[in-house]
Amino acid sequence: MAQNFDVVVIGAGPGGYVAAIRSAQLGLKTACIEREFLGGVCLNVGCIPSKAMISATHFLHKAEHQAEEMGIHIKNISVDMKQLKKWKESVSGKMSGGVGQLLKGNGVTVFMGAAEFRSKTELTVKTANGTESLTAKNFIVATGSRPIEIPGFAFDEKGIMSSTGALALEEIPKNLVVIGGGYIGLEISGYLSKLGTKVTVVEASAAVLNGVVDPECAQVVARKLTKQGVTILTNAKAKGHKKSGSGYEVTVEVGGKEQTLKCDKILVTVGRKPNSDQSNLKAAGLAVDEKGFIKVDAQRRTNVPNIFAIGDIACQPMLAHKASHEGVMVAEIISGKNRVYDAKTVPAVVFTDPEIASAGMMESEARAKGYTDLKIGKFPFAANGRAVSLMETDGFVKMIADAKTNILLGIHIVGPEASNLISEAALAIEMGARIEDLALTIHPHPTLGETMMEAAEATLGHAIHIIQKPLGRSKDAHA
């Protein structure tokens, strides 16, 4: 006999578990189904474990390369990869366990198993103890995405890896070929390089992070990676591979000429695709677009009125925090609140060294939307006292504003703690702030956050801690 619920959420990632908790808070009888692990990809094999590895290797890098300059002498540094992996897994375990406690504490019924729709009001869950049948007034599909495979490079997660395999390494590879110079590829390249791996990045376009972040920000990261010993091949395509002893030979075409790269392992990071081939969506009558995303409206409602879709399965951007925002929104819509997705910006972060964070439009996007008269200013971290004391002075804060109104259109940061600084930028853009709003807000000293105030002053043409040429009104008022 079927169990009946007001809301059934499929998927317990950052979108799904948040939707389930908020639904329960609003008095709805709620169930959440998860086929692998609570917290989804993000907490278990994505965001959290990768940031744990990045944090550990950043600490190692500072100890190896900066401690001596500070007068701190550290001898015989070594890395126990198995212990590092164990620590990384403990971080993910704590977070995943916390999700379980939150779901239980809010009265959500959890089913561990694979869900399949039978109709628009019923589904089954195959659990370790058998098959359960659930009915609900409303369903929220939050089944996420998975890494894209490319022809000739099928994942075995041992020699040819996705990000999942790269985060499970027990030994440090001597040589690694990374196919794809997007944010996942560069994050993993960065921390493995710090562990001693010789990394070669193969990127099909003209630059790494192409179209993903502000080009000037990407250049700073590319230079730092190169200085760190990472080889970056652009306008390059991986054509195939073959086994060579215990490793591989990867054939790459660069500028029309083929070359061979020898490596121990291959990492493929060319993007992710929605899991729309799971959960038997056809049985519920759900419409899917040509890219595999479930079609949704501004409320994340599908073509079937009682079924919603959120997170990576629904639409770009495929970011955890966007999924969580949608999860709260959809739960409140189901409970009767009148809400739509109307965010002006979804901030994005790349956890490279230095970090990159963005909110709002890039210059090219602003011009494409008709903003021809812009004010653009930058303030370097090299002129910030806190950054100097941290010995992390690469990068800058860049602001883009409409010159007619001074309303901020985009803020892009490359530098230390960019991931934390970007929240102020997101709030400013969401509230329709002007450059003056940031410039006239007193920021505490000495902090990295001062760079936001100083970048605003630079965009207005009167920075204090850098020397600027007087800015005149022009089509391109760059500072």
Q: How far is CA 90 from the centre of its chain?
A: 21
pTM, whole model, 2 decimals? Answer: 0.95
Report CA dihedral (271, 184, 19, 292) to the nearest 10 degrees: 0
CATH of domain 3-146+273-334: 3.50.50.60
Confidence of residue 470 (pLDDT cuts 50, 70, 90): confident
- Largest distance between two CA atoms of the chain: 76
Strand duo 175-179 + 160-161: pairing: unpaired
CA 167, 168, 170, 174 dihedral sign is negative
The CATH superfamily label for domain 348-466 reads FAD/NAD-linked reductase, C-terminal dimerisation domain (3.30.390.30)
Please write the tens of the pLDDT for every residue from 337-350. Answer: 999 999 999 999 99
Note whether 3-146+273-334 and 348-466 share their fold. Answer: no
Q: What residues does 247 pair with on adjacent strands?
A: 244
Please write the tens of the pLDDT for every residue from 405-415. Answer: 999 999 999 99
Confidence of residue 1 (pLDDT cuts 50, 70, 90): confident
Comparing CA positions, the residue from 258, 26, 264, 273 lying closest to residue 140 is 26
> Do 462 and 472 contact (CB within 8 A), yes or no?
no
Please write the tens of the pLDDT for every residue from 268-326. Answer: 999 999 999 999 999 999 999 999 999 999 999 999 999 999 999 999 999 999 999 99
Confidence of residue 255 (pLDDT cuts 50, 70, 90): confident
> Do 462 and 437 contact (CB within 8 A), yes or no?
no
Crossing angle between the packed helical segments 47-65 and 183-194, to the nearest 10 degrees: 40
Comparing CA positions, the residue from 432, 121, 418, 222 lying closest to residue 455 is 418
Percent of the chain clearing pLDDT 90 (strictly above):
97
Confidence of residue 471 (pLDDT cuts 50, 70, 90): low
pLDDT of residue 347: 98
- Sequence-distant (6+) residues with CB within 8 A of 66 are 391
Arithmetic mean of pLDDT over the chain: 96
The CATH superfamily label for domain 160-270 reads FAD/NAD(P)-binding domain (3.50.50.60)
pLDDT of residue 344: 97
Distance CA 399, CA 375 (A): 8
Comparing CA positions, the residue from 198, 202, 197, 192 lying closest to residue 150 is 202
DSSP 51-96: HHHHHHHHHHHHHHHTHHHHT----S----HHHHHHHHHHHHHHHH
Specify the 3-state DSSP secondary structure of 146. Answer: strand
Confidence of residue 351 (pLDDT cuts 50, 70, 90): very high
pLDDT of residue 469: 82
pLDDT of residue 473: 43
Q: Taking the domains of the chain in order of start, what are their residue ranges?
A: 3-146+273-334, 160-270, 348-466
In this structure, what token pair is assigned to residue 234? 């652009």
For the question of residue 445 being annotated catalytic, the response is yes
pLDDT of 476 over the 60 cut: no
Catalytic residue among 241, 412, 445, 478: 445
Neighbours of 378 (CB within 10 A): 20
Q: H-type helices in 301-376, by residue range?
A: 320-334, 363-368
Provide mean pLDDT across the span 41-68.
96
Please write the tens of the pLDDT for every residue from 428-447. Answer: 999 999 999 999 999 999 99
pLDDT of residue 474: 40
- Sequence-distant (6+) residues with CB within 8 A of 230 are 189, 190, 193, 199, 200, 201
pLDDT of residue 376: 97
Confidence of residue 457 (pLDDT cuts 50, 70, 90): very high
Percent of the chain clearing pLDDT 70 (strictly above):
98
Comparing CA positions, the residue from 174, 152, 173 lying closest to residue 252 is 152
> Do 274 and 292 contact (CB within 8 A), yes or no?
yes
